[in-house]
Amino acid sequence: MSNVKLTIDNKTIEVPQGTTIFKAAKQLNIEIPSLCYMNLEALSIEHKPAGCRICVVEVEGRRNLAPSCSTEVAEGMVVRTHNMRVLNARKTVMELILSDHPKECLSCAKSGNCDLQMLAQKLGIREIPDQDTVAMSTYRKDFSPSIIREMDKCIMCRRCETMCNDFQTVGALSAVNRGFDAVVAPAFEMDLQDSPCTYCGQCVAVCPTGALTETDHTNRLIADLSNPEKTVIVQTAPAVRAALGEEFGMEPGTSVTGEMATALRQLGFDYVFDTDFAADLTIMEEGSELLDRLTRHLSGDTSVKLPMLTSCCPGWVNFFEHQFPDMLDIPSTARSPQQMFGAIAKTYFADKIKVKREDMIVVSIMPCLAKKYECQRDEFKVDGNPDVDYSISTRELASLIKRANMDLSNMPKSDFDNPLGESTGAAVIFGVTGGVIEAAVRTAYEVQTGKTLERVEFEQLRGLEGIRQATIDFNGLPINIGIAHGLGNARKLLEDIRAGKSQFHAIEIMACPGGCIGGGGQPLHHGNAEILKKRTKAIFTEDEGKTLRKSHENPHIIKLYEEFLGKPLSHLAHSLLHTHYTTKSKKTIIIK
Amino acid sequence: MSDYKIHVLVCGGTGCRASESDQVFDNLTSEIKNQGLDKFAKVVKTGCFGFCEKGPIVKFIPDNTFYTQVTPTDAIEIVEEHIVKGRKVERLLYKNPETEEYISDSKSMEFYKKQYRIALRNCGIIDPENIAEYIARDGYQALGKVLTEMTPEEVIKEIMASGLRGRGGGGFPTGLKWDITRKVQNDTKYVVCNADEGDPGAFMDRSILEGDPHSVIEAMAINAFCIGAKNGLVYIRAEYPLAIDRLKTAINQARECGLLGENILGTDFSFDIELRYGAGAFVCGEETALIHSMEGSRGEPTLKPPFPSVEGYLKKPTNVNNVETYANIPAIINKGAAWFSAIGTEKSKGTKVFALAGKINNVGLIEVPMGITLREVIFEIGGGIKNGKKFKAVQTGGPSGGCLTEKDLDTPIDYDNLIASGSMMGSGGMIVMDEDDCMVDVAKFFLEFTVEESCGKCAPCRIGNKRLHEILEKISEGKGTKEDLDRLVNLGNVIKDTSLCGLGQTSPNPILSTLKAFKGEYLAHVIDKKCPAGVCKSLMAYSIIEENCIGCTACARVCPVGAISGQRKELHTINTSLCIKCGACIDKCKFNAVIVN
């Protein structure tokens, strides 16, 4: 492709044909303000609806202003990005957007982290004309277990739609109504919880305002932590430690495991445990299930379905329950680490410390919003009491730590408590795409072949490509493994399975880009997907630093089986650590 | 056709049908049969005659007798008098309002004298549900010529030479569009007819589809031949049921005759047409929005480029043209580019169909050569302003256009002159306003429309138009300030400058143009708190003139809120705090005693 020469703000630049003005300007270090535009380069998602019109620039010879995010350069183009005509237009459009936005910054969940607020500052907005008399959009607040929609704060950037439809292919959100009443909503403006939403939270992760936020449990947690009659236990997911530091100004990719443990203890949790422990347990159960299904399949048992799909990711579970109700027997029956942890905490551990189930509160810290929904599923309750009482996101934890006047960057490190705090490197990598299957392979290989792995890293399973595949040699037995992150990619693999075209024995699926490190509950990336790569690196570094890197070597897991569960897939293990799936599809399924 | 001595044409357009023209048709048919004249005279249901003001229309061929406002009960008299006795039914003839003379021959009517019908050539003449009648008037001859004697390049050259520009509003050269689409390499291409006519008061596309659907089908086939498409789609709003019906009938007939389908006219050219229904969103007339709507997505525009010619329906090269544009094509092929380009002005060739509406005597549909003046259109064809009132302004181009005034009346109408005058051609709506119209109110009316019809995708159009409307509302309520007028201008200009599609890029035009031409009227609203035209209710006060009031009590009795008090034979008074300004008292008073300030 040939190059194009143009002038931006009196500076000449040559860029490849097809480059947008916005990107060309960036190369000249000219920052054009933007709002709806989002470029997640690492994920190949470029969202440029040209809807907000903040990034408009003047192009000589053109009648009207051009949206720089989506206008391609042309030979000899003369562009002015900040002249008075542009500034006046930008300011006026911004005033318009703000005139239809609630002025609730004081109590808004997004305050301080809001793209709209930052832009208003940048553009020097000091007043909104006629604010008292103009009409404002109104919309009912829509509560769901994971996500709160306050669409009166929606600015129609449509980023959520791109994530929900193009990336995730969930199709829960689209623009409805016209003109001033236009808003992003589920079909027929139904509530989110009646829609096919998976609660993956990617809409929340990209929302520039407080229109989409997580269902916040921090105040409930403060109440529980201040109640002396409750034993409050916390578990933290692997991806949290790789991202939490960002909220305290640390470089992305800084691991804060020890600091976090100290902070949690200072917040008043009675026991600070690690979901990684349960991840090791998951490998024991899921890995055993895989070997069992493999063995039976290879010996000709046609009732056994392959490939087996992982089931740790609640967004993914919701996705197949909604969209692939005819394939509910394919995913592993193993519960997610969060739920395995809860089940063990409120049985094995509760007995150990002699606390009654109803006096114990299990809280999880998750990079995820779907976990909020998962822990309240009926399957994971005993007499109405949930195994995990509630889940808070990485962002909520950061906010709570700040509220308690603690700074993570000055925090001394400490270890998790035992016994549910011990974990291996295999568990840590659950936080990135490909990690669960790599952890499973580390264990399954040794169990199946009886040999010790010389090298535990399976590089062929790693990376950020949406769909990856690899064949692992299990001592002469080739095992085909598929990996997908992002539900749109998952859909492709599932459709192959449905069509009988899949050659895989096992598939790992994570709903979010990059896996849990890119979860809907993580610190906001504000359009910079490079952060995901840094978080990934942090996770693998943590794995390398561990002495034990295979789940079946975790001494506390071994002890748990000896003292309590018996062996993987035992009757007790089944009742505490496995689950079943239900169809959520509203379509009528005809069963022959 | 030649067997009949008389053809009785009955308008079957939507307007006349609303006034029972179907019943007129039935009664005429059965009466002719009753009288045993059905071998002698034939009744034909045609498309729109354009003279909607005086519908239903019945026209006799060959003598061009033009009956207006015919009711079903007139059928017997018409048959007995005109056909049996050979006498015209004078009372149903058009009466020249100035001379009070009855005019029997439509060709002598001012309304038709200056018209030049190309796109509407068959409307009001043929039975649109009978392909034979279309063929009898050279229908499908152009397609035959194109398929057997011409190459696509030659056809495009001819269209380019004709100077035809898009009639949907943009005015883009049609031949050039075809040429661009033709040159894009792709095995699959589409031709799309944009029949999503949405301007308030405009109904030319509907009338063409109702009155002469084959002209569009033929043109689409020619278009497809030129660009290398096999499939055509007509995007038509579902609220045009009659047009849809007639189009469907025409498509079926064309298929039966081998004019659509495989190997048309024995050549290796194959082409067929499907319909796609729109839900009536104005923005879907914008071609990218139209394409998204056809694809089943939300009907909202996307940035151009890519233009539909390169990446359109289902991402394939797509040529989108408007109904009226298409209707011109067969005539251009048949009569040649030179003939067509001899009509009109230097840069705007041919004719344009306008829908006359508002305070004009002859409301209806007209087709005039480009270059005609507004004065000719309004005062000659349109018969001047209703009730002898004074002309104030005319809005061309629908809600995207602007208001033109007295000073523009003698400017020749074409694409460029209208833009230079601060308005635009648009699809050809022409709304005439008289001295009783308030320009703030007129601007508000159009803004109300764009606020309603904005898709909501881009911020300036979604929110900005709403704010403009709110300011206008404020002004018409007497709460406006001088600063509001400045805000209207700045906001209007920014909306034009920053909106994504043509809707927002033009929606402030009605405000900006009226503000320019009628600044005084706006100032009267914000400074004197008066509406000079007496339209803005909040700025009106009703009162009773002492000298004229005889105390008849009629006004007090009709007042719905009891705001008028007074004894019999004594002066009445209006309590302005109770008055809702409904105007009932003015209508009731026979002594002109109630006035509005």
Please identify, in words, the CATH class of the domain defined by A219-577: alpha beta
B245 and B275 housed in the same domain: yes
Task: Kindly list the distances between the CA atom of residue A62 and the CA atoms of A66, A71, B301, B497, in Å, as whole numbers in the listed order.
Answer: 8, 12, 19, 10
Same structural domain, B149 and B256: yes
The last residue of a domain, from among B434, B458, B486: B434
**pTM (whole model) above 0.95:** no
Bridging pattern class, strands A11-16 and A3-8: antiparallel
Which tokens hold the place of B513?
A: 């143009």
Beta strands per DSSP E along B361-506: 364-369, 391-396, 403-405, 429-434
Where is the domain boundary, B378, B410, B434? B434
The answer to whether the CB atoms of B456 and A179 lie below 8 A apart is yes
Residue B114 lies in a domain: no
Query: Which of B458, B495, B507 would you mutate first to test chain A, the one with the most A CBs within 10 A?
Result: B458
Nearest CA in chain B to A63: B497
Contact B460/A53, CB-based, under 8 Å?
yes
Which residues contact residue B547 at a Cβ distance below 8 angstroms, ignoring those fewer than 6 apart?
A: none
Out of A54, A72, A96, the one facing B467 most closely (by C-beta) is A96
* B344 touching A (Cβ < 8 Å): no
pLDDT value of residue A589: 45
pLDDT in tens, chain A (592 residues): 799 999 999 999 999 999 999 999 999 999 999 999 999 888 889 999 999 999 999 999 999 999 999 999 999 999 999 999 999 999 999 999 999 999 999 999 999 999 999 999 999 999 998 888 899 999 999 999 999 999 999 999 999 999 999 999 999 999 999 999 999 999 999 999 999 999 999 999 999 999 999 999 999 999 999 999 999 999 999 999 999 999 999 999 999 999 999 999 999 999 999 999 999 999 999 999 999 999 998 898 988 888 999 999 999 999 999 999 999 999 999 999 999 999 999 999 999 999 999 999 999 999 999 999 999 999 999 999 999 999 999 999 999 999 999 999 999 999 999 999 999 999 999 999 999 999 999 999 999 899 999 899 999 999 989 999 999 998 888 999 999 999 999 999 999 999 999 899 999 999 999 999 999 999 998 888 889 999 999 999 999 999 999 999 999 999 999 999 999 999 999 999 999 999 988 754 444 4
Which residue from B452, B458, B498 is facing A89, i.e. has the nearest CB? Answer: B498
| Local confidence band at B2 (pLDDT 50, 70, 90 cut-offs) | low
Per the structure block, which two tokens stand in for A405?
């006047």
Give the CATH number, domain containing residue B101: 3.40.30.10
pLDDT of amino acid A133? 87
Number of cross-chain residue pairs from A and B with Cβ atoms under 8 Å apart: 108
**Hey, of B400, B451, B493, B498, which one would you mutate to test binding to chain A, going by the most A CBs within 10 A of its CB?**
B498
pLDDT for B515 beyond 90 = yes
Say whether B457 and A175 touch across the interface (CB within 8 A). yes
CA–CA min distance A523, chain B (Å): 28
Mapped onto helix, strand or coil, the DSSP state of residue B476 is: helix
Q: Which of A129, A133, A178 has its CB closest to that of B455?
A: A178
The reply to whether B206 falls in a domain is: yes
Closest by CA to B207, choosing from B334, B367, B95, B358, is B367
User: Strand, coil or helix: what is B153?
Assistant: helix
**Exposure of A363 in the CB half-sphere (CA atoms within 13 A):** 28
Residues B234 and B322 grouped into a single domain: yes
Per CB-CB distance under 8 Å, the chain B contacts of A67 are 303, 500
- List CB contacts (< 8 A) between B497 and chain A: 56, 64-65, 85, 89
Same domain membership, residue B166 and residue B248? yes
Q: Is the pLDDT of residue B317 over 60?
A: yes
Nearest Cβ partner for A179 among B451, B474, B491 = B451
State the Rg of chain B over Cα.
26
CA distance B181 to chain A (A): 20
CATH of the domain at B452: 1.20.1440.230
Q: Do B455 and A64 touch (CB under 8 A)?
A: no
Q: Kindly state whether residues B256 and B387 are assigned to the same domain.
A: no
**What span, in angstroms and rounded, lies between the C-alpha atoms of B383 and B363?**
9
**Do β-strands A231-236 and A271-274 pair in parallel, antiparallel, or remain unpaired?**
parallel
Query: Using alpha carbons only, what angle is made at residue A116 by residues A112 and A120, rounded to the nearest 5 degrees?
Result: 95
Residues A62 and A84: their CA atoms lie apart, in Å, by 16
- What is the rounded CA–CA span in Å between residue B595 and residue B574? 11
Tell me which residue has tokens 């890293």: A457
Judge if B24 and B135 occupy the same domain. Answer: no
CA separation for the pair B189, B223 (Å, rounded) = 11
Q: Is B527 strand, coil or helix?
A: helix
Q: Do B77 and B164 reside in the same domain of the chain? A: no
CATH number of the domain enclosing B358: 3.10.20.600
Domain presence at residue B336: yes
Would residue B244 count as lying in a domain?
A: yes
- The phi and psi torsions of B393 (rounded to 5 degrees) equal -165, 165
What is the complex's ipTM, to 2 decimals? Answer: 0.93
Residues of chain A with Cβ-Cβ distance to B496 below 8 Å are 64
Strand ranges, E, within B30-175: 41-46, 58-61, 65-67, 94-95, 102-103
| A129 to A92, A98, B249, B382, B523: CA distances (angstroms) | 10, 10, 55, 44, 21
Interface of A with B (CB under 8 A): 49-54, 56, 64-65, 67, 70-72, 85, 88-89, 92-93, 96-97, 99-100, 129-130, 133-135, 155-156, 174-175, 177-182
Topology classification of domain A3-82: Ubiquitin-like (UB roll) (3.10.20)
Q: Which residues contact A222 (CB under 8 A, 6 or more apart)?
A: A400
Question: Contact B325/B166 with Cβ under 8 angstroms?
Answer: yes
Residue B466 touches partner A, C-beta closer than 8 Å: yes
Q: Is there a domain that residue B119 lies in?
A: no
Q: Looking at residue B200, what is its pLDDT?
A: 84
Pull the structure tokens for residue A80: 């002015």
Same domain, yes or no: B443 and B423: no
pLDDT score, position B201: 84
Query: Is residue B336 located within the same domain as residue B201?
Result: yes
- For residue A73, give the chain B residue with the closest CA: B305
- Cβ(B36)–Cβ(B349) below 8 Å: no
Looking at the structure, tell me whether residues B423 and B303 fall in a common domain: no
Distance from CA of B453 to the nearest CA of A (A): 6
DSSP 8-state class, residue B109: S
Question: Are B436 and B397 a contacting pair, CB within 8 Å?
Answer: no
Nearest-by-Cβ selection for A135 from B455, B466, B491 = B466
**Could you tell me the two tokens for A11?**
């500076």
Q: Give me the domain span that covers residue B589.
A: 541-596
CB contact under 8 A, A180 and B463: yes
Residue percentage of chain B with pLDDT more than 90: 89
Same structural domain for residues B180 and B214?
Answer: yes
Cis peptide preceding A314, ω within 30 of 0: no
Are the beta carbons of A52 and B458 separated by less than 8 Å? yes
Does B169 lie in the same domain as B49? Answer: no
The total number of structural domains in chain B stands at 5
Assess if residue B120 is contained within a domain.
Answer: no
Report the alpha-carbon distance of residue B182 to residue A143 in Å, rounded: 53
Domain A98-215: assigned CATH number: 3.30.70.20
**C-alpha torsion angle, residues B347, B348, B350, B355 (rounded to 10):** -170
| Helix B152-162 / helix B213-227 crossing angle, nearest 10 deg | 120
Q: How far is CA B168 from CA B146, B164, B334, B357, in A?
A: 25, 12, 23, 18
End-to-end, the C-alpha distance of chain A in Å comes to 54
Q: B221-265, pLDDT tens digit by residue?
A: 999 999 999 999 999 999 999 999 999 999 999 999 999 999 999
Which sign, positive or negative, has the C-alpha torsion A207, A208, A212, A215? positive
B474 vs A: CB within 8 A: yes
B505 touches chain A (CB under 8 A): yes
Q: Nearest by CB to B458, which of A53, A88, A134? A: A53
Answer yes or no: do B465 and A179 touch at CB < 8 A.
Answer: yes
Q: Are B466 and A179 inside 8 Å of each other by CB?
A: yes
Q: Quick check: B305 contacting A, CB < 8 Å?
A: yes
Name which of B300, B455, B497 is nearest A64 (Cβ-Cβ).
B497
Domain boundaries, chain A: 3-82, 98-215, 219-577
d(CA A563, nearest CA chain B) in Å: 59
Helix (H, G, I), strand (E, B), or coil: what is residue A126? Answer: coil
Residue B124 lies in a domain: no
Nearest chain B residue to A58 by CA distance is B497
User: In the structure encoding, which two tokens stand for residue B380, read together?
Assistant: 């000659």
Residue B8 CA to residue A80 CA, distance in Å, equals 66
Check A50 against B456: CB less than 8 A apart. no
Residues on chain B touching A100 (C-beta within 8 angstroms): 463, 466
Catalytic residue numbers of A, as ranges: 286, 289, 312, 332, 371, 374, 379, 516
Any domain includes B18: yes
| Token pair for B264 | 């048309």
d(CA A69, CA A46): 10
Contact A289, A334 (CB under 8 A): yes
Fill in the DSSP letter of residue B268.
Answer: S
Decide if A179 and B452 are in contact by the 8 Å CB cutoff.
yes
Average pLDDT of the residues of chain B = 94
Residue of A nearest to B505 (CA): A64
